[in-house]
Amino acid sequence: MSLTQVLTAAQMRAAEQALFDAGTSVSALMEIAAGGAAEWIRRVAAGRAVTVLCGPGNNGGDGYVIARVLREAGKAVSVIAPLEPKTEAAKAARARWGGSVAQTGKDAAGDVLVDCLFGSGLVRPLSHDHAALLCDLAARHRYRIAVDLPSGVATDSGAVLNDGLPAFDLTLALGAWKFAHWSLPGRALMGQMRLVPIGIGGVEGAAQLAGRPRIAAPEAESHKYRRGLLGVVGGAMPGAGLLAAAAAQRAGAGYVKLLAPKADPRTPPDIVTDTAPLGEALADPRFWAVLVGPGLGRDAAAQARLAEALRQAPSLVLDADALMLLDPAMLARAITVLATPHDGELETLCRSFGLSGESRRERAMALAKASGMVVLAKGPDSLVAAPDGRLALGTPAPSWLSVAGTGDVLAGIAASRMATGADPFTAGCQALWLHGEAARRAGPAFTPSQLAERVADALAAAL
């Protein structure tokens, strides 16, 4: 059973149907899911009173089961249900609850609110009355728990469907993670998140979380070239290339070489600079990967350097200016490429390739398929999309990363991982986690160079 897959609402329904086809009843599965959630709630609530808000569907049925299990454990529980249950499983769960059910929350008194109003599959806003009830109850409870998803958050996009919805302290995902758990703006309402397993198996084609990687230390007989030679193509603004190279040195590559038009006196002594013409420098067959883009510039000379890298490099990471200069015709040669666009660069690339999509996830996946590149769409909810349809979502990273230069660090990490032999999709996933972990270890208000220094610590945490 995979605990890292991320499912759409349709994939989750199909996965549950597979359990039903194998002989598990809807009510039995509800007991498993809600029972697991109730155990979390029991621990969190301790001796505090609990109010459970139930809706008409199976999410509401989960609420009735949770209330019953908590009552059996000796907890003080009250149930509010503005609508009667509509599904057979929810009706049966309410009957097994057997206690009183209030239709309004005017007399509700408790310390912990459990939201089981509407869960996975919601695509339309809550009614005015239901949104008002949820907000009123949330305001009168000190601790708030959402079961599966907070009511009013779209499952597949993370869109918040109503204005002014409350934030929760804990969200308990039932069976599998959904896209909303890892997508803004909905993710911001969920607080801590925990997964409650219910026996769902691996789903073919499901997205995955780009969590902590497992990175092996170099083999005993390794040397600098066996560990991977990485070329960082410098350009008009050498500082960005130096940042990327500094991060790359700490992310596993055995040898990082700066391929620059001229020497820069700021270059640290442990970074070798090659000022030979780029075509000549790239002729070294020992290169495993090349990074182009940080500080490249956008003039004719920059375009020529990008074209040369695309012509000769064994594998490439394209970032920053390289993405703004890239033309679809430049990808004629069969080569493995990882592109690392931010939202503006992603939009430019989609225009260049004649692509569209409602969400950045759709645009990134379309770009990967059309271009043959693996696309690491970076931002507050980063993702990695591969041409074959694979998709990985980044886990939340510190918001302190929102500063100039951190993208250069990310590109350097990704290029370093490719230089060690990782394929572009794996390198992108590893880079996302290492980048976020380096930020966590750097603390608040760091500079890009301080972030680069913490990459080695992040790598150590992944060994």
Q: Are residues 237 and 164 in the same domain?
A: no
Q: Are residues 37 and 147 in the same domain?
A: yes
Q: How far is C-alpha 330 from the chain's CA centre?
A: 30
pLDDT of residue 340: 98
In a domain, 363, yes or no: yes
Q: Are residues 139 and 41 in the same domain?
A: yes
In a domain, 218, yes or no: no
Other Cβ atoms within 10 Å of 129 Cβ, number: 10
Instruction: Show which of 174, 205, 236 is a domain's final residue.
Output: 205
- Of 97-101, 103-107, 323-327, 435-439, minimum mean pLDDT range: 103-107
Q: Are residues 122 and 270 in the same domain?
A: no
Check whether 225 has a pLDDT greater than 90: no
In a domain, 230, yes or no: yes
Tokens of 157: 């996009």
Which among 153, 143, 88 has a CA at the least distance from the CA of 117?
A: 153
CATH number of the domain to which 377 belongs: 3.40.1190.20
Check whether 219 has a pLDDT greater than 80: yes
In a domain, 43, yes or no: yes
Instruction: Please state the rounded mean pLDDT for residues 188-215.
Output: 95
Split into its structural domains, the chain has a count of 2
Q: Are residues 311 and 233 in the same domain?
A: yes
The proportion of the chain whose per-residue pLDDT surpasses 90, expressed as a percent, equals 90
Strand positions, DSSP E, 153-251: 170-174, 177-178, 192-196, 207-210, 229-233
pLDDT of residue 3: 57
Q: Are residues 267 and 174 in the same domain?
A: no
pLDDT of residue 1: 39
Q: Are residues 12 and 160 in the same domain?
A: yes
pTM attached to this predicted model: 0.92
Check whether 354 has a pLDDT greater than 90: yes
Q: In what order do the strands lie in the sheet with 336-339?
A: 177-178, 5-7, 207-210, 391-394, 383-385, 374-377, 336-339, 315-318, 287-292, 229-233, 255-259, 272-274
Q: Are residues 339 and 264 in the same domain?
A: yes
Q: Are residues 197 and 344 in the same domain?
A: no
Instruction: Please state the rounded mean pLDDT for residues 233-238.
Output: 92
For 39-88, the pLDDT digits (tens) are: 999 999 998 999 999 999 999 999 999 999 999 999 999 999 999 999 99
For 108-158, the pLDDT digits (tens) are: 877 999 999 998 888 899 999 999 999 999 999 999 999 999 999 999 999
In a domain, 210, yes or no: no
pLDDT range class, residue 300, cuts 50, 70, 90: very high
Q: Are residues 191 and 239 in the same domain?
A: no
**CB of 170 closer than 8 Å to CB of 44:** yes
Q: Are residues 454 and 406 in the same domain?
A: yes
Q: Are residues 146 and 185 in the same domain?
A: yes
Instruction: Please state the rounded mean pLDDT for residues 435-446.
Output: 97
Q: Rg of the chain's alpha carbons, rounded to an integer?
A: 26
pLDDT range class, residue 391, cuts 50, 70, 90: very high
Instruction: Show which of 175, 205, 235 is a domain's final residue.
Output: 205
CATH number of the domain to which 190 belongs: 3.40.50.10260
Expressed as residue numbers, the domain containing 199 is 5-205
For 17-26, the pLDDT digits (tens) are: 999 999 999 9
Calculate the CA dihedral of residues 206, 210, 212, 218 and round it to 10 degrees: 100
In a domain, 212, yes or no: no
In a domain, 41, yes or no: yes
- In angstroms, the CA 32 to CA 264 distance is 63
Instruction: Please state the rounded mean pLDDT for residues 389-408.
Output: 96
Instruction: Please state the rounded mean pLDDT for residues 283-291.
Output: 96
On average, the pLDDT of the chain sits at: 95
301: left (phi over 0), alpha (psi -120 to 50) or beta: alpha
Check whether 4 has a pLDDT greater than 60: yes
**CB of 230 closer than 8 Å to CB of 415:** yes
